[in-house]
Amino acid sequence: MAELVYQTIGELLEEKAVKYPEREALVYADRDVRMTYKQFNEHADKVAKALMAIGLEKEQHFSVWTTNVPEWPGLQFGSGKMGAPLVTVNTNYRASELEYLLKQSDSRAMILIDQYRDHSFIDTMYELCPELKECEPGNLKSARLPLLKTVVVISDKKYPGTYSYEEFLATSVNISDEQLAERKQSLTYDDVINIQYTSGTTGFPKGVMLRHSNLINNAINIAECMKLTHEDRLCIPVPFFHCFGCVIGTLTIVSVGGTMVPVQEFHPEVVLRTVEKEKCTALHGVPTMFISELNLPNIKEFDLSTLRTGVMAGSNCPIEVMKDVINVMGMKDITICYGQTESSPVITQTRPEDSLAMKTETVGRPHPNVEIIIAEPGTNKELPRGEQGEICTRGYVVMKGYYNNPGATADAIDEDNWLHTGDLGTMDENGFVRVTGRLKDMIIRGGENIYPREIEEFLYKHPKILDVQVAGVPDEKYGEEAAAWIILKEGQTATEEEIREFCTGKISRHKIPRYIYFVNSYPMTASGKIQKFKLREQFQGFSKALQ
């Protein structure tokens, strides 16, 4: 069994910069960004100094609200060198979600792009912090976000009260090499360096605290299962604000000294053009991304002959899609990963030599140094092989806990250090795991986690709504979509469009229910518990009737 590695993310990068100084570390195919490991390591040092210069101490948090922009990898590895945990922010967030995250995470600085699609991020920041328009950069005094002091905007435009990214980097001259070296010396592999927000049983996102050692060892194991080397070039179109992007993506390829080739925003044609231009050997994606790429009418025009491996994760992979990824895209060594943010994220993974059946019917076997049991739900009592129970894991992968949420941490990690995933599954005699369902009602839409209660609590604010239940229903494209069953107050009428209009701009687009039904009652147990599975059965019966 491979030995665990005990180092910081900064030390990992420095080790690769010594070993592969002239090998490309970071490339953006569509712009003039091309750094060797030597250059990228020096850049990460500069970012680390700038983070220190704006006042961030070790263990003080800063948030990043961007797409896969070229600045992100520098922030990730710069953070790893100076010890301020990076808090990821979902690009779908709107004002109320952002305010909750910035408050709950105690973020002291915010780095963002000014616009994403039709959403002005900078306008949202001004809405939350009107004082920002009048303050000196780095000296914000916000009534709603009292800890937040510094806002940095990645943009060609200059915005009042904020630093541009170039101005932010320029502050690095205020920190000496000796000061940075001293900070690096104070860090340990056991420090929290990343906080990822994920939906949970409370219905509100929880901040998963991940240590250097969680992330580095997970990355090393993922790379080993993929048989990655320093000669590999990984195209990363999955978002950096997910563990898929910043662990299975950037950290995994850096762990072997290979090349990060990010795509800023997913578009199937851009992904394949990037693979062709940069001769990528590996490509990541959720099944819907691979389906979009395979369905391009001009897919045969792209030279994908360099592709060999990659990771598909986020939801179940249909067997026909897997066959096409192997045969049409040439990814014969593609692997399937399973896990969750709380497990850094990967618990199990298929290997290149596994059969097609194992790659589509299972999520592979446990990583080295990772324990898994299938337990009787609500306990950590192991069930016999082949029996369905809750998937529980233990080992280096388990998060430190949820930030400022000891109750939720205790619910997730028991006294014997088993992390209870909330997923149902089975394990066969050879250790292959099948995921069969979920104990919790989480909806996974195209790899995005949606918790029904969060949508329900928002919809309760509508003046016409008496009661609402939200559940996930099957969807061919995204795996699942949100459906809402609404009971209106007496004498009220409403339309589906009216409900969606109420949601627009207030909650993330992917959380707005795709299906809305107005009902008079819900199916219930004798004790008065609503049976959501019966609502889902009603939906499926209704769908079949329409076919």
CATH number of domain containing 432: 2.30.38.10
| Three-class SS state of 422 | strand
For all residues of the chain together, what is the average pLDDT? 93
Q: For residues 260 and 73, is the Cβ–Cβ distance under 8 A?
A: yes
Task: Check whether residue 23 and residue 145 sit in a common domain.
Answer: yes
Q: What is the pLDDT of residues 113-156, one digit of tens each?
A: 999 999 999 999 999 999 999 999 999 999 999 999 999 999 99
Whole-angstrom distance, CA of residue 297 vs CA of residue 294 = 8
On the question of pLDDT at 430 being above 80, the answer is: yes
Choose the weakest-confidence range: 261-275, 290-304, 365-379, 432-446: 432-446
Task: Check whether residue 380 and residue 429 sit in a common domain.
Answer: yes
Closest CA to 311 of 280, 281, 336, 339: 336
Residue 242, domain member (yes or no) = no
Residue 321, domain member (yes or no) = no
Task: Check whether residue 365 and residue 500 sit in a common domain.
Answer: no
pLDDT for 88 equals 97
Task: Check whether residue 15 and residue 103 sit in a common domain.
Answer: yes
pLDDT for 524 equals 72
Q: What is the pLDDT of residues 297-344, one digit of tens each?
A: 999 999 999 999 999 998 777 788 899 999 999 999 999 999 999 999
Q: What is the pLDDT of residues 178-194, one digit of tens each?
A: 999 999 999 999 999 99
Task: Check whether residue 376 and residue 468 sit in a common domain.
Answer: no
Task: Check whether residue 81 and residue 170 sit in a common domain.
Answer: yes
- Domain final residue pick, 213, 237, 260: 213
Residue 117, domain member (yes or no) = yes
Task: Check whether residue 540 and residue 470 sit in a common domain.
Answer: yes
pLDDT for 528 equals 52
Task: Check whether residue 447 and residue 416 sit in a common domain.
Answer: no
Please state the rounded mean pLDDT for residues 360-381: 94
- Domain final residue pick, 182, 213, 244: 213
CA 220 to chain centre: 18
Encoded tokens for 132: 């920002």
Residue 77, domain member (yes or no) = yes
pTM for the full predicted model: 0.85
Q: CATH number of the domain that 168 lies in?
A: 3.40.50.12780
- Domain final residue pick, 438, 470, 490: 438
Q: Where are the beta strands (DSSP E) in 252-369?
A: 259-262, 282-285, 309-312, 335-339, 346-349, 365-366
Task: Check whether residue 62 and residue 190 sit in a common domain.
Answer: yes
On the question of pLDDT at 92 being above 50, the answer is: yes
Whole-angstrom distance, CA of residue 527 vs CA of residue 138 = 55
Please state the rounded mean pLDDT for residues 442-453: 82
Its domain, for residue 526, covers 443-546
> HSE (CB half, 13 Å, CA atoms) of 109?
27
Q: CATH number of the domain that 523 lies in?
A: 3.30.300.30
On the question of pLDDT at 492 being above 90, the answer is: yes
- Report how many domains make up the chain: 3
On the question of pLDDT at 349 being above 70, the answer is: yes
pLDDT for 238 equals 96
pLDDT class of 542 with cuts at 50, 70, 90: low
| Three-class SS state of 340 | coil
Task: Check whether residue 62 and residue 163 sit in a common domain.
Answer: yes
pLDDT for 527 equals 42
pLDDT for 546 equals 46
On the question of pLDDT at 547 being above 50, the answer is: no
Q: What is the pLDDT of residues 450-462, one digit of tens each?
A: 878 789 889 988 9
Task: Check whether residue 38 and residue 175 sit in a common domain.
Answer: yes
Residue 39, domain member (yes or no) = yes
On the question of pLDDT at 210 being above 90, the answer is: yes
Task: Check whether residue 100 and residue 141 sit in a common domain.
Answer: yes
Please state the rounded mean pLDDT for residues 386-401: 96
pLDDT class of 421 with cuts at 50, 70, 90: very high
pLDDT for 200 equals 44
> HSE (CB half, 13 Å, CA atoms) of 105?
36
List Cα–Cα distances, 506 to 26, 127, 367, 481, 493, in angstroms. Answer: 36, 13, 40, 18, 22
